[in-house]
Amino acid sequence: MRPRPTPPYSQHLARSLGFFQLTATGVGLVVGAGIYVLLGAATEIAGATIWVSFLLAGVTSALTAMSYAELASMFPSAAAEHEYTRRVAGPSLSFLVGWFMVAGLVVAAAAVSLGFASYLEALTGIPVRLGSLGLFGLLLFVCLLGVRRSTRLTVALSAVQVLGLVVIIAIGLPHLGDHSLLQGHGPQAVVSGAALVFFAFIGFDEVITLAEETTNPTRTVPRALLWTLGISTLLYVGVAISSVSVLGATKLGHSGQPLAEVATQGLGPSAGKAISVIAVFATINTTLLAVTAASRLIFGMAITGALPRRLSRVSRRQVPAAAIVVVVVVAMAIAQSGSLELVASLTDVAVFLVFIAVNVTVIALRIRQPHRIRPFTVPWSFCRVPVIPVLALVSVGFLLPSLTGRSMVLGAVVGGLGLMVTLGLQHRGRQLAAQTTKGVEMRRHHITEEDLQAVVSLMHLDIATSPYSEDELRRGMQVELQHGWVDPTTNVTNDDLVATAKIALVHLNEIPDYYTRLAIMEAEGRAFWKKR
């Protein structure tokens, strides 16, 4: 008999990324449009102290990066933030977290494509909107080729764009002291500048969306995450200091291609054009990686059932083709707005909210599941509460009010759309549940395979990334049903399978092999009493 073909949504992504590739991918995702394009606008806000804004944004990111590292080591999943939040919150809240992260990445891809088009227009005269469309067409083709090929391109482009930043730092060294680095526009301006350049750090957290394509992810992902952020922060601060030293804060603040002007001032027009070419490559790379991260997050959410299963289909090249197409089409449409600063601010709103959810999740898991295995643990706790995630929440709350009112309104609109989507999907799920349980006898004693799969689907459980197996979940549900028969006050009604599963999961999440051990103890007990 020929084996039954595996449905597309059950396929896995290829594990082909190591520490070097993952770190290069992270650096490539971070050091893109934020420094090559937004440096001028941010300097206009913060003045000569723009380097302090970058440092402040880097510290804020570093605090949350520790939380990401702990969660990534515990739950290496493409669903990333959605998967983490799902461990402590209901499906609606976890969906919104994933929704905001996807929205932030898609909007970031659109913003970076505008930066690419701006530099391309300066070099070739091609209109910005046309250049952005052409870029997305190219990236769609590259992404569908497979992660191994796209990663090779990413590593090469990352090396080019980092080289460009190193050149800018080198140009600025002889000019240190030519312009003051401390005459800014005040502390509030530094904070506002940090809120804007925070966009430049977006991407370090998306290293985790490649967990399912990484070898030994519980060890590799946290290390790559922290190295990515450290390298990027050093480059950003160095470039900001050099740029102010060469051009001065006023001239830098009014520049549309700031790094190209620094190179022109320091080495001549040919150097400026060379930096513009590097900026083109850098923004291509960042857009590519934003599209990749967003598509993997959509894929992971679809695997858990939070999004339609069609979005988890994997092509013959083992890439989530349907998710890639959706991301590219939506980002292409957003890019036609043409407003880089507004689009960047909207991305910041989304990422700030997700950062809040990630840090709260770490704190909640420490309190609810203190004995769970954590390959990487955030240091320093007080009464079970980790200190660093608390500081991360404070820092995010410090920066969030500095965003523009318009971007906050757009963020609220994005959240409203996400809420409508999740309510619609939940309503559809309830209808399917009613059809599944119709005619089923109440007061059941046994959990069938059909019962189990219905519960897994309705609760958006991802058994592949959980510490328990399907057999343990089924056994746990049956034990809880038996408890309900013996003492109805200890359990819900026997026909409520979802509630029964939730009770079983409380034990399984705290002690992964709880019901396996319970079965062994019961067998030993029966054998003991038989001997007596």
Greatest mean pLDDT range, 9-18, 28-37, 211-220, 316-325: 316-325
* Mean pLDDT (the chain, rounded): 77
Lookup result for tokens 């059909």 = 450
pLDDT confidence of residue 422? 75
Is residue 63 within 8 Å of 255, Cβ to Cβ? no
Q: Which burial class, exposed, middle or buried, applies to 160 when counting CB atoms under 10 A from its CB (0-12, 13-18, 19+)?
A: middle
Which one is predicted more confidently, 156 or 241?
241
Q: How confident is the model at residue 293 (pLDDT cuts 50, 70, 90)?
A: confident
Is residue 422 within 8 Å of 95, Cβ to Cβ? yes
Which one is predicted more confidently, 185 or 526?
185
Contacts of 401 (CB under 8 A, 6+ apart): none
Q: How confident is the model at residue 490 (pLDDT cuts 50, 70, 90)?
A: very low
Q: Look at residues 491, 496, 469, 465 and name the one whose alpha carbon lies nearest to residue 479.
A: 491
pLDDT confidence of residue 438? 46
d(CA 154, CA 160): 10
Q: Look at residues 417, 149, 112 and name the one whose alpha carbon lies nearest to residue 281.
A: 112
Q: Which domains does the chain have, with CATH numbers?
A: 18-404 (1.20.1740.10), 439-531 (no CATH)
Contacts of 393 (CB under 8 A, 6+ apart): 356, 359, 360
Q: How confident is the model at residue 34 (pLDDT cuts 50, 70, 90)?
A: low
d(CA 340, CA 479): 57
Is residue 484 within 8 Å of 491, Cβ to Cβ? yes
Neighbours of 124 (CB within 10 A): 9
d(CA 521, CA 483): 16
pLDDT confidence of residue 9? 38
Average confidence (pLDDT) over 337-352: 69
d(CA 226, CA 215): 17
Amino acid (1-letter code) at residue 184: G
Contacts of 9 (CB under 8 A, 6+ apart): 302, 303, 309, 310, 312, 313, 314
For residue 100, how far is the Cα from the chain centroid?
10
pLDDT confidence of residue 18? 75
Phi, psi of 369 (to 5 degrees): -130, 65
How many residues are recorded in the chain?
Answer: 532
Contacts of 372 (CB under 8 A, 6+ apart): 74, 365, 467, 509, 510
pLDDT confidence of residue 115? 78
pLDDT of residue 91 exceeding 60: yes
Is residue 296 within 8 Å of 25, Cβ to Cβ? no
Any alpha helices (H) in 313-440, and if so which ranges?
321-335, 340-368, 387-399, 405-437
Is residue 213 within 8 Å of 71, Cβ to Cβ? no
